[in-house]
A and B are shown apart, each in its own frame.
Chain A
């Protein structure tokens, strides 16, 4: 469900730092901590099987030219993410946001609602730099 990973990433970067540099060097560890500690346990929305599954989404997005990964593929702790194409990431977010009304699948609305709630509830994180 890489489209949702892209949606979460776009919203995450939007919320935590208005400055565009923030997501030029975001640690995978920090992002996965939001996904698994906040989105999973607080909002109980289970999107990814584990860190490997989440990482695979980023590898896919890297091939699409949306993000760039650096720092190692075996040790996720060392990996950093850089958004390569902010415009497309934002367009992707709109596709995900409009999906429920376009397709009639109501569950998609509940997914985005919980993601946005998790972002509101999440504590401000330490800078990845």
Chain B
């Protein structure tokens, strides 16, 4: 196909949808705020929030909350598809953002009455400007949260890479919402102009013209100054540190973290965590929520620079409740499966937009199309994913990129249908599946098999224990020093998968090779991004391969690494057949890991 024909065909097929997304971004989220709300005419108001009750919205917050970019958070669910198992958990990012704003400003107010004299003498004065700045940063801290919330964290590295083409700041792929929020606070016309309007509330000329940078610095939770304008202003930096530790935290500094306090209280409240707790824990939990509502905990300022909770009992209980939320609500095989599936769908669609945009639009416009897609409300993003993947499947000859392969994208389209029709069943099935319902293949391989009878599918789960076996065998014969093996595993496996799990794990190639070997089965592979996040958290204890084995087999043992979805294979019920399949699967994985890691 000639370049001209390729360009024309790609444009004809993908152009209308691509530019609809660009238009959506421009007209909804990049339009200057003057065309939407007149700042001068905005009046303060209030809203009623679960947990805290009446929440005052000062003029600048009332103004921001009416902008489409902020208002969209009312259509983004805080906990993605958790509501399938916890029907009460349908609360939104907006509710949480407002909760954080309310709590953070209230804490600042409390702190301002107790600033130690020695801090005042060092120039620390808490003023109304600080209330304005912190309120804005708190309200906007989740501004860039895409649809389906943290379920899409697995595409963070890919989005960071895309943003890096047009934006100077390049992040490590830690959080998708922070990367997107940074883009919106620093590059989006609606937000830049809106913050300019809000800065009318500020009195200090030193902060007036730096509001967007200050807000970005606070939201990023970075201790060092990101912007040259604030690098030499020690007093301003210390103030930013104080505000940041009210809203969040820095590594090595235990901030108050109003964000965390709010999501603990709010997610637990809406998902009804209490119903999952034993009597003793329930009482503790109820007391804790009561203390949050009444703000019954002491706060202080450390080194005239960092805010902290001066109440070890409160901090300890918060840690315990947080753990309970993770175990009972956030984690589990059902949620991992659902998140891995959504990650694959959105990654595939974003890739199609990128490939199409590269052929007929500039990088800036392509980013806007992708932003238009990712910023859509939960209800619409599925429809657009469907449209993008459908066109890609029907016109695969136009997608001449090897990554991801055409087959991979076509399968993603089929998976979307499965997701649409069967999420409720699969999540219920997985959350209630007991060990008795699983049948393992060879004990040492540790693959688990689930029969999803209602939809005629079989799901095979490759756990951390199997992963340990795979890595062990892949690196058994290598004679290189252990430290270099650890480095390869960290860099080329863990970090690469944290950055872009689908590409790093070569899911498309693995899927194709398995498929080619098993003509009578349809194979789709999903990779669980959160396994790699958890492995990274544990990695500080890993200084040799023995320690790595311990982390994988004892700490993370049943955490899914891959999900392999096939058409239902009754013959797999025979132990010998499943054993044979597991052995073949193991061999494929080992050969793959040997190919990427050659220390």
Identify the A interface with B (CB < 8 A). Answer: 1-3, 6, 36-37, 40-41, 43-47, 49-53, 56, 60, 63-66, 85, 88, 91-92, 95-96, 99, 102-108, 110-111, 114
A4 to B224 CA separation, bound complex (whole angstroms): 18
A residues less than 8 Å from B403 (CB atoms): 104
Cβ of A44 and Cβ of B484 under 8 Å apart? no
A88 to B483 CA separation, bound complex (whole angstroms): 8
Within 8 A of A (CB), among B219-250: 220-228, 231, 250
Cβ of A44 and Cβ of B169 under 8 Å apart? yes
Within 8 A of A (CB), among B189-236: 220-228, 231
A105 to B501 CA separation, bound complex (whole angstroms): 9
A64 to B169 CA separation, bound complex (whole angstroms): 31
Cβ of A106 and Cβ of B161 under 8 Å apart? yes
A85 to B484 CA separation, bound complex (whole angstroms): 12
Nearest chain B CB to A20 CB, angstrom units? 20
16 extra A-B contacts, CB within 8 A, seeds A46-B169, A46-B171, A50-B252: A1-B172, A41-B227, A49-B222, A49-B251, A50-B251, A52-B250, A56-B540, A65-B483, A95-B484, A103-B492, A103-B503, A103-B504, A104-B403, A108-B496, A110-B170, A114-B170
A91 to B480 CA separation, bound complex (whole angstroms): 11
B residues less than 8 Å from A99 (CB atoms): 491-492, 495-496
Within 8 A of A (CB), among B501-539: 503-504, 506
Within 8 A of A (CB), among B419-465: none
B residues less than 8 Å from A52 (CB atoms): 223, 250-253
Sampled A-B contacts (21; CB under 8 Å): A1-B495, A3-B491, A40-B226, A50-B222, A50-B224, A50-B252, A52-B223, A60-B540, A65-B483, A66-B483, A88-B483, A91-B484, A91-B599, A95-B484, A103-B496, A103-B596, A104-B500, A104-B504, A107-B161, A107-B499, A110-B161
Identify the B interface with A (CB < 8 A). Answer: 157, 160-161, 164, 168-173, 220-228, 231, 250-253, 403, 481, 483-484, 486-488, 490-492, 495-496, 499-500, 503-504, 506, 540, 543, 596-597, 599
B residues less than 8 Å from A51 (CB atoms): 223-224
Chain B interface mostly: mixed
A residues less than 8 Å from B160 (CB atoms): 107
B residues less than 8 Å from A104 (CB atoms): 403, 500, 503-504, 506
Nearest chain A CB to B475 CB, angstrom units? 14
Cβ of A3 and Cβ of B487 under 8 Å apart? yes
Cβ of A105 and Cβ of B504 under 8 Å apart? yes
Cβ of A92 and Cβ of B221 under 8 Å apart? no
Nearest A residue to B161 by beta-carbon distance?
A: A107
A56-B540, A114-B170 as given contacts; A46 in contact with B599, CB under 8 Å: no
A residues less than 8 Å from B495 (CB atoms): 1, 3, 99
